[in-house]
Structure 1
Amino acid sequence: MTEDQRRAIEADCARLIALYANLNDEARWEDVAALYTDDGLMTRPTAPDAPIVGRAAILAAFQARPPRKTRHVCSNVVIDVEDHASARGTSAMVLFTEGGVPLAGSFHDRFVLTADGWRFAERRGSLAW
């Protein structure tokens, strides 16, 4: 793999993290769920021991949420490319909700290249506070 190919994978996966946050804040649940593989796994930072498995289940979990205004801020993104079709990443996250206390945490992600582009195979969240 060339340096340019590695950098392109890193950029694609970092973009997926940012896109996830933006779509989440816009309550575009179908688009958020589409960022996962069909058998993707998600754990919310507020429920790290309760995995939600499968794109359909992830969509249903988002749709079941009560409406709220949020702003996710992601930073400290580090992507480790494993090969041409898989990568891992970590990122820091701060969640602001209207009238709520900010939450700080992180995500540990596993990315895979699919026919539709890079997708989350796993997105595991946890809270620092």
Structure 2
Amino acid sequence: MKNKDRRAAEADCARLIALYANLNDEARWEEVAALYAHDGVMFRPTAPDAGVVGREAILAAFKARPARVTRHVCSNVVIDVESDDTAHGTSAMLLFTGEAAPLVGSFHDRFVRTADGWRFAERRGSLLFT
């Protein structure tokens, strides 16, 4: 892979992380679910052992949650491109809900390039402190 292609893939995957946070905070669930591959898997930071598999199930999981106001802050994003069609990455996450103390955690992501561009193959959240 050429350096410019690697940098483009890194930027696309990093943008996916930021877009996910923004859409999540805006409760735009259909668009959040569309950031996953059709068979993607989501592990919420609050339920790290309970994977939700597939876009439809991910969408249903988001729609089932109680309404709340949130602000996700993601940083320390590092993307490693493995091939033309796969990458993985990590990021730090700070979640403000306005109802409780902030949650601090991280995401470990696997990305796959699809016909629609880069998508999450797996998004695994974890909490470090609450």
> What is the TM-score when the length of structure 1 is the normalising length?
0.99
How many residues end up aligned between the 2 structures?
Answer: 129
The residue type equivalent to 1:109 in the other structure is D
Instruction: Quote the Cα distance in structure 2 between the aligned partners of 1:111 and 1:43.
Output: 14
The residue type equivalent to 2:49 in the other structure is D
The residue type equivalent to 2:96 in the other structure is F
Give the 3-state SS of the residue equivalent to 1:128 in structure 2.
strand
Q: Does 1:112 align with 2:80?
A: no
Matches within 5 A, 1:71-82: 71-82=71-82
Instruction: Quote the Cα distance in structure 2 between the aligned partners of 1:98 and 1:20.
Output: 20
Q: Does 1:87 align with 2:87?
A: yes
Task: After the TM superposition, list the runs of 4 or more consecutive aligned residues in structure 1 that deviate by more than 3 angstroms.
Answer: none
Runs of at least 5 residues in structure 1 that lack an aligned partner in the other structure = none
Instruction: Quote the Cα distance in structure 1 between the aligned partners of 2:98 and 2:66.
Output: 13
The residue type equivalent to 1:121 in the other structure is A
- CA shift, 1:101, in A, is 1.1
User: Which residue number in structure 2 is paired with residue 50 of structure 1?
Assistant: 50
- CA shift, 1:100, in A, is 1.4
Deviations 1:62-120 (A, max 9, x none): 00011000000000000000011110000000000022110000000000000000000
- CA shift, 1:29, in A, is 0.3
Runs of at least 5 residues in structure 2 that lack an aligned partner in the other structure = none
> What is the TM-score when the length of structure 2 is the normalising length?
0.98
The residue type equivalent to 2:59 in the other structure is L
Give the 3-state SS of the residue equivalent to 2:124 in structure 1.
strand
Instruction: Quote the Cα distance in structure 1 between the aligned partners of 2:56 and 2:98.
Output: 28
Instruction: Quote the Cα distance in structure 2 between the aligned partners of 1:105 and 1:73.
Output: 10
CA RMSD of aligned residues (A): 0.5
